Structure 1
Amino acid sequence: MIQIHTTCHQRIAALTFLCLLVLPGFSGCSQESPSPVSEVVATEATQNKTGEVSLAQVYEVLQQKKFVDLTHAFEPGIPHWPGFPDESVKTIYWYDKRPDTLGSGFFAQMYCHVGQWGTHADPPAHFVKGGRTLDEISVKEMIMPLVVFDVHAAVENNPDYTITMDDVRQWEAQHGLVPKGAFAVMRTDWSKRWPDQGAMHNSDKNGVAHYPGWSLDVLKYLYEVRGITASGHETTDTDPGIATTKDEYSLETYILSQDHYQIELLTNLDQLPEAGALAVVTFPKPKGGSGFPARVFAILP
């Protein structure tokens, strides 16, 4: 539930503006049920001649909130898909004066890594020929209501666990319908194994990886019925380890074939509420880019 303090008129207006104009369904209530936030908006509209709230007021509200970084810092040697080479970093300029000029020096580095490095974005083109590349994803797809499916307890008992429709139904029974346009993430606490590559892949003596993943019925429900914008997880892959060991990536293929993007290798999901937060997902804009490290964070209610 969103707590609204009537002692500050501007903050009420800014918060309700953000919830209803920027993020439909943000309150976590069923879309078929009346929302107390909508009642506040109606009141505010009668009190404000223009019925509008400035972005400065929205900013003031956001500054009072807690921000949580959901991104791993990347460097050489971090966990990654086995088929990719490691990152290399070279310092090409330093603070000392450069011998070729009279000016002061500066710090500059050259990075070499695959697009799918660290916490990263996978656009449709990553798996789908002709699909959208990173530069074709609109900025309006980067601010979303955040939905957290917490299955970490099940994963503790079964590292091969895949999320079920019962998990989703339980979330909706408690928080209302998954809001349209949401960023849906699966909390497994697998990121606590970072940056140990062996622990992340969790392979047995036969080389079979054992880590959790999504399931097709849940993904189809979220994307086709609830209309989410994107999804994310803490593991290196959308599909569970027992599938990727066999080079099967049907779940990632499904998401990207629906013209949506995903984020892999998230962290700090244990610091988030299951509902009510905002997700901000950002990444560079390489022309025709098939993937790139992302910076993802949450704004808590």
Structure 2
Amino acid sequence: MAEPRLWAAFRELSEKATRTDLTHAFHPGQPHFPAFPDETRHMPFDMARGDGFNVHLYTIVGQWGTHVDPPSHFVAGARTLDEIPVEEMILPLVVLDITGRVDADPDAVPTLDDVAAWEARNGPIPAGSFVALRTGWGCRWPDAAAMANRDEAGVSHAPGWSADVLRHLFEEAGVTAIGHEQTDTDPGLATSAGDFSLELYVLERDRWQIELMANLDRVPEAGGLIVATWPKPQGGSGFPARVFALHIDDRPIVPT
């Protein structure tokens, strides 16, 4: 009897593909948006106290650790977490890498030249893809001071997206979602001034994003898949996500 096609595809993928976790483990005291309360957790049932099982009670905001922002995070009446279909949770993965510039200038953002260079190497960015911005900022986790990187005046110097690149990705390339290593979509200079207009732009397009991604330096810039999933709270405006990549290491990771 012939092996079912999906089982055969899974077996081939299991034998050839690398799985890379793109998720930080969350915990109390981790870096987070300053206005949010810290995580608290306790154990109403604890085997160390003689109970028959362990149960943790977690108190967190939805935007905690590696997390998903649905459109409703910034846009009243927009799609909530339970309204994002599973068809959007497995996507081609594109990685835009600006780590070299960020090493020299923490305020660096991606440019259309970065997009053009990526496309010269790999072809057009696929419609319906997930585009992750690699900045090297994930290596600073979980040091809150290093993530914020504030100067003596309290201004954050951290990379973010740019309006030109986001407009190209959503209005011309037609991507489904974006993600990044840093805390915010907008660069630190903007968020320090209370400007979150780039995040608003993304969510107003009825798109979603993953923030605080990990291990983007371990995946190729093209050819991989991303699997992004999260719990399904009815009407939810954000939640910690579990995100990983599948990639076959037949292309080198582009050095920075």
Cα RMSD for the two superposed structures: 1.4
Residues 201 and 210, structure 1, Cα contact 8 Å, conserved in 2:
yes
Asked whether 1:66 is paired with 2:13, we answer: no
Asked whether 1:54 is paired with 2:1, we answer: no
Q: In structure 2, what is the equivalent of residue 230 of structure 1?
A: 177
What is the CA-CA distance between 1:231 and the residue it aligns to? 0.2
Whole-angstrom CA distance in 2 between matches of 1:156 and 1:265: 18
Residues 187, 96 of structure 1: CA spacing in aligned structure 2 closer, same or farther, 3 A cutoff?
Answer: closer
Query: Out of 90, 98, 115, which is 1:143 matched to?
Result: 90
Residues 96 and 105, structure 1, Cα contact 8 Å, conserved in 2:
no
Any residues of structure 2 matched to 1:7-26 within 5 Å, and which? none
Cα-to-partner distance string for 1:32-64 (whole Å, 9 max, x where unaligned): xxxxxxxxxxxxxxxxxxxxx711111111212
Query: Out of 89, 102, 105, which is 2:41 matched to?
Result: 89
Q: In structure 1, what is the equivalent of residue 212 of structure 2?
A: 265
Query: Out of 129, 137, 141, which is 1:190 matched to?
Result: 137
What is the CA-CA distance between 1:281 and the residue it aligns to? 0.3
SS in 1 for 2:244: strand
| Structure 2 unaligned spans of 5+ | 249-256
Asked whether 1:214 is paired with 2:161, we answer: yes
Which amino acid in the other structure matches residue 142 of structure 1?
A: M
Whole-angstrom CA distance in 2 between matches of 1:113 and 1:214: 26
Larger Rg: 1
Residues 181 and 228, structure 1, Cα contact 8 Å, conserved in 2:
yes
Whole-angstrom CA distance in 1 between matches of 2:27 and 2:180: 20
Residues 283 and 295, structure 1, Cα contact 8 Å, conserved in 2:
yes
What is the CA-CA distance between 1:96 and the residue it aligns to? 5.7
Q: In structure 2, what is the equivalent of residue 101 of structure 1?
A: none
Query: Out of 87, 107, 114, which is 1:167 matched to?
Result: 114
Which amino acid in the other structure matches residue 57 of structure 2?
A: M
Q: In structure 1, what is the equivalent of residue 192 of structure 2?
A: 245
Asked whether 1:205 is paired with 2:152, we answer: yes
Cα-to-partner distance string for 1:171-198 (whole Å, 9 max, x where unaligned): 0000000001111001001010110000
TM-score where L is the length of structure 2: 0.94
Residues 97 and 105, structure 1, Cα contact 8 Å, conserved in 2:
no
Whole-angstrom CA distance in 2 between matches of 1:94 and 1:204: 44
Residues 144 and 279, structure 1, Cα contact 8 Å, conserved in 2:
yes
Identity of aligned residues (%): 54
Q: In structure 1, what is the equivalent of residue 201 of structure 2?
A: 254
Larger RCO (CA under 8 A, 6+ residues apart): 2
Which amino acid in the other structure matches residue 43 of structure 2?
A: T
Q: In structure 2, what is the equivalent of residue 7 of structure 1?
A: none
SS in 2 for 1:170: helix
Q: Aligned pair count?
A: 246
Larger mean CA deviation between 220-229 and 70-79 belongs to: 220-229
Residues 97, 119 of structure 1: CA spacing in aligned structure 2 closer, same or farther, 3 A cutoff?
Answer: closer
What is the CA-CA distance between 1:95 and the residue it aligns to? 2.0
Whole-angstrom CA distance in 2 between matches of 1:61 and 1:132: 36
Whole-angstrom CA distance in 2 between matches of 1:61 and 1:68: 17
Residues 96 and 106, structure 1, Cα contact 8 Å, conserved in 2:
no
Whole-angstrom CA distance in 1 between matches of 2:143 and 2:205: 32
Which amino acid in the other structure matches residue 59 of structure 1?
A: F
Whole-angstrom CA distance in 2 between matches of 1:75 and 1:59: 33
Residues 77 and 87, structure 1, Cα contact 8 Å, conserved in 2:
yes
Residues 97, 258 of structure 1: CA spacing in aligned structure 2 closer, same or farther, 3 A cutoff?
Answer: same
